[in-house]
Every structure is written in C-alpha cells, then in structure tokens.
A and B are shown apart, each in its own frame.
Chain A
Amino acid sequence: MNVMNEQKIEEAVKARMTAGTNEVIKMRGDKVTVHYGEKQALFDVDILIRENQVTALIGPSGCGKSTFLRSLNRMNDTIAGCRVGGKITLDNEDIYDRAIDVVELRARVGMVFQKPNPFPKSIYENVAYGPRIHGLTRSKADLDEVVEKSLQKAALWNEVKDRLHDAGTGLSGGQQQRLCIARAIAVSPEVILMDEPCSALDPIATARVEELIDELKQNYTIVIVTHSMQQAARVSQRTAMFHLGYLVEEGPTEKMFTNPDEKRTQDYITGRFG
C-alpha cells in the first residue's frame, strides 16, 4: 500500500515539490477513520490533495468514497452517529479543531452533490444565496456581478442569462448540475468536492460538466468521486483507489491507469470487480 510517510508530507506542506512540478498540498488526511455508530466505514486513510488539481476517488460501491469526501467539509457532522477520527487539514489547519468554524469551513470547501439539488427558487436566487448569507457583497450591483461571473464560470450564463428569474428547478438535469456548481463557486471556495456529479446526467451534459471541471481546476482544488473510469482518466490528475474502507493506492492518474502498484487497482480499473 502506498502510504505517505511523515517526511514526505512535511516536505510537501513546506514548499512546492521538486522535480519541476509546482505542486502544493491543499488538504491532507492523516489516519482518517470514520464510524457510523458501531460500524467502521473508513480505516486509516492517508492522502494528500494537491492544489489546483483534480483528484478522483474511485472504487466499488460502498467502499467509503462519499464518506471520505463528506469528511473533507464536515458534512458528516450532520449525520447522526457519525464519528470522524484522525486528522484532516486544510492549508495545514486541522478542520476538526475547535478553532475552525464549520460554517466558515464549508464556505471554503464547497460541495456539489450526486443529484442536482437546486433550491426551489429562481436561478438568480440560487446563485446569490451563498454570497448573501456570508455577506460577501456590498451592493445589489456587486451581487449581480458575482452571480453573472459564477454562472459564466459554470458555463451556464449564455443559456440562462435571459431567464435569471425563472425557477432553477425548471432547468434540464445537466443545467441544474451546472447551476449547483455555479452556486458553489459563488462563495469563492478554495476546494470543491463533487460526489458523482454526472451520475444523473446524460452523456452530452456529462461532457459539458467534465469540460467545466477541467477549466475550474485553474482556480480551484477539486476532489471528485466517480464511478466512471473514463471520467477519472479524462478529468483528473491524481486518482485514489478505495476498497472496503481502505485507501488502496493513490498516485498520478496516468500511472494508476497504466501501471498501478496494487493488483486490486488493476483489477478494478479493468473491470474485473466492482
């Protein structure tokens, strides 16, 4: 198993890594365990999430991908009986520390869910909600600008600019998902977590969202859970393979797909189980 050792992590945190890459560690999981009541769902997960890269989490159903993703912005706190152990840091700060406010954390680590879940409000209100509750804008004009920028970044602006005040729930599935991405972007997060964002979309909408993810990585750090090997290969720079609650292996996507260290990774990628 590819376990990062302390030394390596320290190096990464301290500065950009050598070998010509400009990699910076944005988030780090250190012996992360998650329990749902008596049942343990994650076992000692050690992982580095690199800034401005897309990290894909793959693995068979029920292996703990969503669980791990949720622990990155403490959405697990909302699940009764869920306990998170170990340490998770964002910019080297422990996000489960008392000093970190969960509301602030979620403004920094946004989330896009499996099923598009726009609020039953207008498109404008959907995007404006985050900036509004966090007081990010001074005036209506400011807010309008944030809404427009966010929709543009989510590649939705052209489709909805004439009907910003129509219901967000009236959009197509793919548009709804991009609206959710725009909504997440509007609060200017540093990290965006996506849990199978394309699983409810058709192939064309999926392609749009994938393109979008590729563009977004310039400004954001992205962690995406996906069931599609092709998707992981297309959009991610790093891939982490989970199995039965363990992190099997993590590495550059290219290496993971061509020459993984672990046989389980190989088997899963080639469709021998999952």
Chain B
Amino acid sequence: MTDITASSLPVAAPPARRDIGLKKRYAAEARFRMYGIAAITFGLVFLAIMLGTIISKGHTAFWQTTVTLPVTFDPTLIDPQNKRESDPSVLIKANYDKLAQQALISKLGIDAKSKPEVAKLKGFLSDSARIQLRDMLVANPALMGQTVTVPILASANIDSAFKGQVDLTVPEARRKVKDQQITWMNQLAAEGTLAEKFNTGLFTYGASSRPETSGVGVAIVGSLYMMAIVLVLALLVGVAASIYLEEFAAKNRLTDLIEVNINNLAAVPSIVFGLLGLAVFINFLGMPRSAAIVGGITLSLMTLPTIIIATRAALAAVPPSIRQAALGLGASKMQMVFHHVLPLAMPGILTGTIIGLARALGETAPLLLIGMVAFVANYPATPFDPATALPVQIYMWANEAERAFVERMSGAIIILLVFLMAMNLTAIVLRRKFERRW
C-alpha cells in the first residue's frame, strides 16, 4: 500500500459530448404539449360559450313577475242573484277576471268608468288569475266578502317587458305591450307591488298555451318514470346478459356474432329505436301512445347495449387470480360470479348504467316517434298515462315563437343539464369510491 490519498488520484477526463439530439427531442415535447393545451383550450372555449349562452338566456326563466294585489271577493260580483246556497256551481262559473281587474283598478287608482283605460288593463295580468281565485274561493267559501292579499302572475308580455326583453323603441302599434301598460308596470314596481319572484311554477306546471303558466313538471315526472323503467329493465336484463355472455357462455362463432351485434346495436341511431318502439309496442302490442311505459321500454332497448358493454368490461377487469382463488376453494362458477366477481365489478357496472341513463334522459328522437311530443297539462298518475319528457318539452318550446317560451326553453335546458351533471358526478364519485379494491 502506498500513501497516496484518494484526493490526489487523477480525475477521469469527461468524454467529448455526443450529439444525441436532446434539443430536438425537448422541442418536440414542448410542441406536443402546446398542441394539447391548444386543443383543450379550444374545447373549453366552446363549452364556455355554450354554457354562457344557455345560462344568460335561461336564468331569467327562474324568475316570474308577480303582482301582489288585495283582492276583495265581492259577493255582488261573484253571485249577483245570491243563490250560491242552492246552486254551488255559481262559485265556479263566476266572473273572477272581473275581481282581479277590480283589484288592479283600485290599486292603480284609475277611473273604473273610463272604457279605454280599462280596456288597456286587459292582458296585464295572467289569465291564470281566474283559475287561481276560483280555486281559492271554492276551497274556502268563508273568503266571500273578505279582502285577501294574493300574488297574481303578470301576463307573459308584462313579464318580458319587466325583464327588459321587449324593445320599447319599436312603435307602440307594433308592440304587444302598450305604453300605458309600461307606465302602470313601473308605477306598481315602484310601490313594490309588482316584483320578480322565484318561479316555482316552472317546476310544477304542465303544458299550457300561456307561457307564464307552463312548466316542466309533467315532463320531469314523465322523465322520472322512464328513468325508473330504464333502470330496472336495462340494468337487470343488461347485467344478466353480460354475466351469461362473459362468464358462462362458450366462446364460439355464435357468441362472437352476438358480441358483434351488441356492439353494432350500441351504434344504431336512436331514432331507429323509436321506429321499433312505434312498430312493436304501439302498433303491434297495442300499448298506449305518448305513455312513459312505451318510452321507458324503448329507451331501455337503446340503453341495453351500453350497459352490456360496460358490464362486460367491468367483469373482464376483475383479476383472474380472484376467480382462481374462489374456484380453487371449491366454489361453483355461480358462487364465484355472485360472491366475488360481481361485487368487484359493481362500480364499473353502475358507472356504465348511470352514463347509459344520462344518455337516455337526454334522448329526444325516439320519443317523438312514439307520440310523446304531446300537449300534456295533467300529471301522469301512472306510467301508462300520457306524459312528455324533459328534452321533448325543450323541443316543443323551441318551436314556439313567443319570447317567453324561448326563455322557458333555456330554463328547461338548464334543468336538464343540472340533472345530467348530477348523474355524471354520481358516476365519478362511485368510481372514485370503489376503484381498485384488490
């Protein structure tokens, strides 16, 4: 051993640098990242524009102009001959429009005898005031002779005007809202009598020819019925079919053929399913038109391939080691599937189901064919009664010319989007929660 310390050893000279194209490689990567960011930005911008338009057009639909008036249930107007004791139908036939008009006249302080002024009052309040007041009195006859403060909807035109959606520079003759009405509107608004209130009617009303009393209530119920039917039918049939195909069926030509066809079915345009529903369920089986049951079954057929594909993928993703463990212990194939494979595949199955459901919820075309594009004012008591669906309601409102209907259409789109987002969020949460437990 010599006494050379380690630090006195010569250091290896660095070799001449080789050009291994580092610069070019990094440049390529930076370029690729840029493309990616550009693509995402492009997508986000369009999403923002779409959402922005819908929300800016639709948010006003959630507010409705309401006039709060002290209404006197004047017996001399309602029952001039005083025979309500003997003939209760008097209460139903009475001229309630007049009551509302009276209330408005006294509130505005106009001369009740001035014919032209009174004429201009027509179309200020919603026609629904008649029904509203009638229902109040019929439900509680003790109101006769009393004065009650009632919130009455303004007509759709006044509502639009109050929301600033009417172009007042247009000559009065070519507008639906007259200058006098605008003056009154502003007068009432200044008093606080006329104001915008949260539009619960949008969620509760059915179809109506008056925009202010039309809502998505019936459509939501129809959609819920259909979703329930799709959930039960498509999930049960879909999961059963997938388990059989994935776990039990022999792999041969026939099952290959079935598999190809399921994949093809998933790509079939939805309107074709509507034709099928029309031909089979309505024309052949004689099921009722416009009913949620037919819509539900049709949408189930449409959703089935999606659920089958998702379920099979989820089943196939369960590691073979788990299957072997179960079989090795002497579990039968059925026990293996139901005790081990299915529970592990459940999150994937549910995710697929929710995505399929969301697609079915937004589906319009097949429902048009089976007659769900109908004017349905009453809630369907059962899935066999006529109903509409949310997207169909949107479609119907989109065909209306009135400004107030267009506003409701945008409002309904927002409601539909909220439903869809909630469903997709549920799918994501489920996936996160149960992901990879092995």
Contacts and interface: CB of A to CB of B under 8 A. Distances in A.
A117 B325 contact: yes
Interface in B298-339: 319, 321-332, 335, 339
Contact of A103 (B251, B331, B340, B438): B331
A133 interface: yes
B437 interface: yes
A119 B330 contact: no
Interface in A124-178: 129-130, 133-134, 169
Contacts of B321: 113, 115, 117
A187 B319 CA distance: 23
A175 B322 CA distance: 17
B135 to A, nearest CB: 59
A229 to B, nearest CB: 27
Q: Which of B251, B321, B328, B339 has the most CB of A within 10 A?
A: B328
A113 B329 contact: no
Nearest to A132: B339
A103 B324 contact: no
Given A80-B251, A120-B437, A180 B335 contact: no
Interface residue range, chain A: 20 to 34
Contact of A187 (B324, B330, B332): B330
A243 interface: no
A79 B321 CA distance: 13
A187 B327 CA distance: 13
B352 to A, nearest CB: 20
A180 B344 CA distance: 19
Contacts of A169: 437-438
B322 A117 contact: yes
Contact of A110 (B251, B326, B329): B329
A129 B437 contact: no
A103 B336 CA distance: 11
Interface in A78-111: 78, 80, 103-107, 110-111
A183 interface: yes
A113 B327 CA distance: 12
A75 B437 contact: no
A191 to B, nearest CB: 12
Contacts of A120: 322, 344, 437-438
A78 B330 contact: no
A103 B330 contact: yes
Nearest to A106: B330
15 contacts: A75-B328, A103-B330, A103-B332, A104-B330, A106-B329, A106-B330, A107-B330, A111-B328, A113-B321, A119-B322, A120-B437, A130-B329, A130-B330, A133-B330, A133-B339
Given A106-B329, A117-B319, 7 more contacts: A75-B327, A78-B323, A78-B324, A113-B325, A117-B322, A130-B330, A133-B331
The 8 closest A-B pairs by CB, nearest first: A107-B330, A117-B321, A111-B328, A106-B330, A120-B437, A130-B329, A120-B438, A117-B325
